[in-house]
Chains A and B, each alone.
Chain A
Amino acid sequence: MAILSAIISVIIGLGISLVIFWALNWLVERTSDRWKSRLLPYVFLAPVIVLIAIFLLYPAIRTFIDSFLQQSQRRGEGPTFVGLDNYIDLFTDPGFLGILLNNVLWVIVVPTGAVIAGLLVAILTDRLGKRRETTFKAMIFLPMAISGVAAAVTWRFIYFYAPPGNPQIYSLNAIWTAVTGQDPVPWLTIDAARLNSFLIMFIVIWLQTGFAMVLLSAAIKGVPEETLEAARLDGCSERRTFFHVIVPQIRGTILAVFITILIVVMKLFDIVYAMTGGQYNTSVLAVEFYTQLFSFQNPGKAAAVVMVLMVAITPIIIYQVRSYKAQEELR
């Protein structure tokens, strides 16, 4: 009956917010015209302002402050101000520098891989009849609907390791042993050249290609037919047409897809956590945050990790806001 009480509480919650909203509106409608036009926007914005202030802005500032504090080991004692110690600890720790390297690899490899794979699929399906195009696209797109944990289960069943002599039931090692005749390899523990990280990145490319495909396909279909005709008349090869006529016209979409996947990758937690728990040098910032907070019970350092993540994301935020402004001015 937990479900019943949950649904009831939801209905009550929504009902109360509606009543408050209605009452505020009723009040505003009855004030003088001068005040009405001033107050009304804030009535409409009030719920958003409250939610964002309490659960987003306040926590953001708090996390920033926390990153300069160290929690006392003893219960009941408050944290002490330690200045930049948390940051110094992080940046003098080779493990953390490895995590940063991983993150850099992630934000380069995954968006690039997904965009290239998405472009390829978009171009290929564009040449097919509608029925086949829809079917193939749905197949590529399907992984997009599954959860990160389910994706991790799926790929664990491929990457896992059974010692030599045992039946090789995991696909990758089955192929490896059959083709090379060598012993099976514990893929997820091999961090030479970050092999295990690349294997996990492949999962995310697998998940995100469908998304890239959808947007890029729509963009390719929007390329004016005349420009393609002109290229053909000039005797452009298929490849030249693609790189010199189509790609420049869909550059904006390519960039948008790249940035969107980049943001997804920066926040990515569940897949890495479910695959390796961040062990064997596969950790990324979002996983390290979790490890610091819960495994090491060190909220100060966890906050510092988040601030590093925020610094990495800030340029994208600035870029988004600026390009939005540019877009508005064009209207």
Chain B
Amino acid sequence: MSSTPIPTPTVDPASGSTKAVVTGRSRKDPQNRDKSKPHVLVTILMGVIAVAWLIPLVGLLVTSFRSRADVDATGWWTALLNPFAQDWTFENFASAWDAIDAGTTFWNSVAVTVPATVLPILVAAMAAYAFSFLQFRGKEIYFGIVLGLMIVPVQLAIIPILQLFVWIGNNTGVQIIGEYPAAYIVHSTFALPLAIYILRNYMQTLPVSLIEAARVDGASHFQIFWRLIVPMSVPALASFAIFQFLWVWNDFLVAYIFIQSGPNAVMTQGLYTLMGQFGQGWQRVAAGSFITLVVPLVIFFALQRFFVRGLTAGSVK
């Protein structure tokens, strides 16, 4: 990590957990290399912190398996203290599934998230190629603009984009608001600056001689981009893709404004609606939360290393 506030993307495994191997070093007592002893206290302390960190989610998880009568009568912790006096049930998940309309909202989330991930990557990779390997006037200025736009909040654009979509709807009859593209175009555009930044930084580490050699062999820039640069940039592309996917999947604001409730509502919208119905019991809201959390948690556990890496690279967002 450099000493400047924009962390340079470290798209090598060294940024994450792999270095930990070296750091079995005991700083507490350099003479005593016996690791187990001084670590007991730290382990206990850290264990307590880590468990406490997850207690809010544990409470929700426990609640999602309890019956309504139990949830209304006692706190979730009594279910753990006295697990056999409880009615455990999967009923809540079925009922929450219907309330969220997960069979539909899940696919709606996919329909928004996948294009919102693929589109900016494709477009940003091309721009990053230009910034890395082509010469043109004002390159530095353009890149400075990209840097500045990275931080601009999406709220800045919401009103005019809404007006634009309404205008298009009135003049062409094509209603965009409420459809998937309304959300994924906004997501894509606001992801572009960060994507360009990350990919450009990565591409600059690729050897220029390779591109020059390909040019000599008569390859066009188009071919070089697709055959050479894109395959070589896969680590950076993947890191950004995972990060962007989760970010869009978990987004509420853009979906709430541009898709709203209705036939194309996404999962976070469904959960938000369900949350307002806690009068019908927390067990349902809790189960609903975990239904929406399946995809992020699977990605988290399956791709944790990449996720961490993407986060390290994308830390300006």
Q: Which positions in A face B, CB cutoff 8 Å?
A: 2-3, 6-7, 9-10, 13-14, 17, 21-22, 25, 29, 37-38, 40-42, 44-45, 47-48, 51-52, 54-56, 58-60, 62-63, 66, 120-121, 124-130, 132-150, 152-158, 167-171, 174, 206, 209, 211, 214-215, 218-219, 221-222, 225, 228-229, 232, 238, 241, 250-253, 255-257, 259-260, 263-264, 266-267, 269-270, 273-274, 286, 289-290, 293, 299, 302-303, 306, 309-310, 313, 316-317, 319-321, 323-327
Contacts and interface: CB of A to CB of B under 8 A. Distances in A.
Contacts of B59: 154, 157-158, 171
Nearest to B70: A169
Interface stretch (B85-93, B206-214, B230-238, B284-292): B284-292
B116 to A, nearest CB: 10
18 contacts: A29-B222, A41-B130, A44-B127, A44-B221, A59-B159, A128-B46, A132-B46, A145-B246, A147-B250, A148-B250, A154-B60, A157-B286, A167-B74, A167-B75, A169-B72, A225-B25, A229-B30, A252-B4
A147 B188 contact: no
Most buried by A among B35, B161, B222: B222
Interface in B117-146: 118-119, 122-124, 126-127, 129-130, 134-136, 139, 142, 144
A257 B311 CA distance: 11
Given A147-B292, A326-B4, A313 B253 contact: no
Contact of B296 (A14, A139, A145, A214): A145
Nearest to B298: A145
A257 B135 contact: no
Given A13-B119, A52-B189, A325-B144, 17 more contacts: A6-B111, A25-B220, A25-B221, A37-B134, A40-B221, A51-B123, A55-B186, A56-B157, A126-B23, A129-B24, A140-B50, A141-B304, A148-B268, A157-B56, A253-B3, A306-B155, A310-B156
Nearest to B142: A45
A156 B278 contact: yes
**In terms of DSSP, what is the predominant structure of the interface of chain A?**
helix
B240 interface: no
Given A25-B221, A59-B161, A257-B315, A3 B111 contact: yes
**In terms of DSSP, what is the predominant structure of the interface of chain B?**
helix
Contact of B250 (A13, A120, A146, A229): A146
A324 B60 contact: no
Contacts of B158: 59, 289, 293
Contact of A238 (B27, B47, B251): B27
B39 A127 contact: yes
Interface string B145-184: 0011111111111111101100000000000000011000
A16 to B, nearest CB: 12
Contacts, number: 377
B27 A55 contact: no
Given A48-B126, A127-B27, A22 B160 contact: no
B1 A267 contact: no
Interface of B: 1-8, 10, 15-17, 19-28, 30, 35, 38-39, 42-43, 45-47, 49-51, 53-54, 56-57, 59-60, 63, 71-77, 104, 107-108, 110-111, 114-115, 118-119, 122-124, 126-127, 129-130, 134-136, 139, 142, 144, 147-161, 163-164, 180-181, 185-186, 188-190, 192-193, 196, 220-222, 225, 246, 249-253, 257, 263-264, 268, 271-272, 275, 278, 282, 285-286, 288-289, 292-293, 296-297, 299-300, 304, 307-308, 311-312, 315-317
Given A52-B192, A169-B74, A270 B253 contact: yes
B197 to A, nearest CB: 9
Contacts of B288: 153
A188 B226 CA distance: 54
Closest 10 CB pairs of A and B: A252-B3, A59-B157, A147-B250, A6-B111, A62-B160, A59-B160, A44-B130, A41-B136, A145-B300, A3-B107
Contacts of B25: 225
B92 to A, nearest CB: 13
Given A149-B252, A149-B275, A317-B148, A128 B43 contact: yes
A254 B182 CA distance: 37
